[in-house]
A = this chain, B = another copy of it.
Amino acid sequence: MNSAMHDENVVQTVLSGAPQQSIRRRELIDVAMGKTPAETIIRGGRLVNVATAEIYPADVAIKGGRIAAVGDVGYTKGPKTRVVDATGRFVTPGLVEGHLHQYHSYLGVTEFVEALLSHGVTATADAFYGPGIVAGIPAVRFFKQAFESMPMRLIFLVPTLSWLQNRELGLTPTEGVAAAELKDILAWEGCYGLEEPPYLPVVEHFPEFLDLFDETLRQRKVITGHAAGITWRQLQAYAAVGVTTDHESVEANDALAKARAGLTLLMRQGSGCFDVPEVVRTHTEFGIDPRMLAFCADLASPEKLMTEGTIDHAIRVAIAQGVAPVRAVQMATINTAEVFYAQRDFGIVAPGRFADLLLVSNLRDFAIDTVIFGGTEVFKQGRFLLKLPKTVYPAFLRGTVKLPHPVTADELTFKVALDRKEIEVRVIGVTEGSLETDERQERLQTQEGTVPAAVDRDVLLLAMIDRFGKGTGTGLGFVQGFGLREGAIASTANAVCENIVIVGTNPADMAVAANHLASLGGGKVVVRDGKVLASVALPICGLLAEEPMQDVMSKFNRAFEAITELGCPLKNPFSQLEFCFACGEIGNIKLSEEGLLLIHPHPHKVDVVVA
């Protein structure tokens, strides 16, 4: 660790580059004109110019966190000008993340920002919809402000899902964010538009959204899209209402249709979704203009954030698929910035923009040597150089796991009439590597009016428990694909519902898991024989950790080990679990606390027992 860089002044300098700070353009003029010296010069590198798609030698003069001049800027060097040597390296813009939910990483704000910066991401788009579902508009405002006090350009978006949430599938919503509040949030300073209002609800079920869309466009803001599994006609309708992007393409021809309809493809390369190799074929094979391609991660585990990275990894994947390096860098920077009309602030190394830059040793491997944010080196040769202030969370974000009484095994026992010997049930089918679920049917033996798991056939018990005092109770069902031989796994974080969700081999372990989560204020837990084998506390909204990311990752790793010990072969068991439950239109069959749902052709409740 470079202790000199841990100086508080350095942190302050970096933070002063945040977008909410006033911009002193007069200072940039004076530096560019040679009247006052630059604060910092990046010297000797080869610039990757993402505007012109050229690579050539150029130096960068910086003042007040922004770029004053790019080229032969030697004349801006004064006696106190700091010089960063970029010899032998490429200078690229800081990477821009087009769609990533911080809360799905479980990391706190400070830890998340450090992880992104350490992989070259200096701008990220987020709406904090999960905290919004759990704790409403004050939570959204808190996270927005927390990010804005960090060395990170926040592309803040309206969390449409904080309102849609359970409504989307006809279920009882949390208080969350009210419809009228969405328009209020849209007008917040630093708001760039709407976060992924999904196709179905907008176009088919909640036409009042169209007013919000019109207002968004009127304010010259953007509507980012979420076009999972829609038909060609639905795509036309979705584009027609003003949607700008899609991050849900998994197949090249489908992606091509979207690009042709004017949607920028935010190619997803995240935890559990590896879409770049397929979607980038629109460019490498079909030859479309690369201006329509950009990157996002959408979901990223702490391990992914800390090890392989997100947008930097996507660049490497794209290059490996045959994309020219300069095009891949465009997809990771200016193309994304242009989606949000943010190219005047970031996504390109040019005068007036924030001095968010990377020094990259090798363009083809995209090996990041140094990350510069607002003109200050924040990461260098494998080491994070800042000590970011700890995020202090307010009390209203805690204690959000509310159970009227401790959960009992009896409540989690699936019951049928005493005279039934066996029953045919709908089972949620889970497949490794896919977040889609499929409907299966299995015959299960009963025991005195109860239906235990059929562990030998991998038909396990599934439960969702209301944790918001909505009074909606508990939903029970069956699932296949987790492979547990014993014990239970549970979580309070599950997209859109954010209830307690549990998969297990027996109701007793499942009840222990639920009650342990309540005692933690939320988190993840693995239980066997009534004992907690591993847990990760997520006390902030029941969604986020407070601990250092290394500790969070260790605890997750311990939990993954424990899950494997229980017999589960899945690589991402928590994500797979999450998507077994009511969560938008992804997948065909879902469990909620109000019962089992089939999603297509339109969401509707069905009985677990078929016969």
Contacts and interface: CB of A to CB of B under 8 A. Distances in A.
Contacts of A26: 207, 210
Contact of A240 (B75, B292, B351): B351
Nearest to A53: B289
A237 B51 contact: no
Contacts of A68: 236-237, 240
Given A203-B29, A242-B25, A236 B71 contact: yes
Contact of A261 (B70, B214, B217): B70
Given A26-B210, A52-B259, A351-B240, A33 B234 contact: yes
Interface stretch (A143-151, A341-349, A502-510): A341-349
Contacts of A236: 32, 68-71, 351
A542 to B, nearest CB: 36
Q: How many copies does the complex hold?
A: 2
A244 B350 CA distance: 11
B51 A260 contact: yes
A330 B288 CA distance: 13
Given A233-B69, A348-B262, A29 B240 contact: yes
Nearest to A222: B344
A312 to B, nearest CB: 22
Contacts of A241: 25, 28-29, 352
Interface string A54-87: 1000000000001111110001000000000000
A118 to B, nearest CB: 27
A382 interface: no
A23 interface: yes
A203 B29 CA distance: 7
Interface string A207-236: 100100110010111000000000011101
Interface residues of A, number: 61
Interface string A430-454: 0000000000000000000000000
Interface in A303-354: 330, 338, 341, 343-344, 348, 350-353
Interface string A31-46: 0111000000000000
B52 A292 contact: yes
A601 interface: no
A261 B351 contact: yes
Given A53-B289, A68-B236, A242-B352, A25 B210 contact: yes
Nearest to A66: B240
A389 interface: no
Contacts of A233: 32-34, 69, 75
A287 interface: yes
A239 interface: yes
A350 B214 contact: no
Contacts of A210: 25-26
A162 interface: no
Nearest to A335: B291
A240 B207 contact: no
Interface in A250-287: 256-257, 259-262, 282, 287
A214 B69 contact: no
Given A28-B237, A70-B261, A71-B257, 20 more contacts: A25-B241, A26-B210, A29-B203, A29-B240, A32-B233, A32-B237, A51-B259, A51-B289, A51-B292, A54-B287, A68-B237, A69-B233, A71-B232, A217-B344, A241-B352, A242-B352, A261-B350, A262-B343, A262-B352, A262-B353
Interface of A: 23, 25-26, 28-29, 32-34, 49, 51-54, 66-71, 75, 203, 207, 210, 213-214, 217, 219-221, 232-234, 236-237, 239-242, 244, 256-257, 259-262, 282, 287-289, 291-292, 330, 338, 341, 343-344, 348, 350-353
15 contacts: A25-B213, A32-B233, A33-B203, A33-B233, A52-B292, A54-B260, A68-B236, A68-B237, A70-B236, A70-B261, A71-B236, A219-B220, A220-B341, A241-B352, A244-B344
- Interchain residue pairs A-B with the least CB separation, the first 3: A262-B350, A69-B236, A240-B351
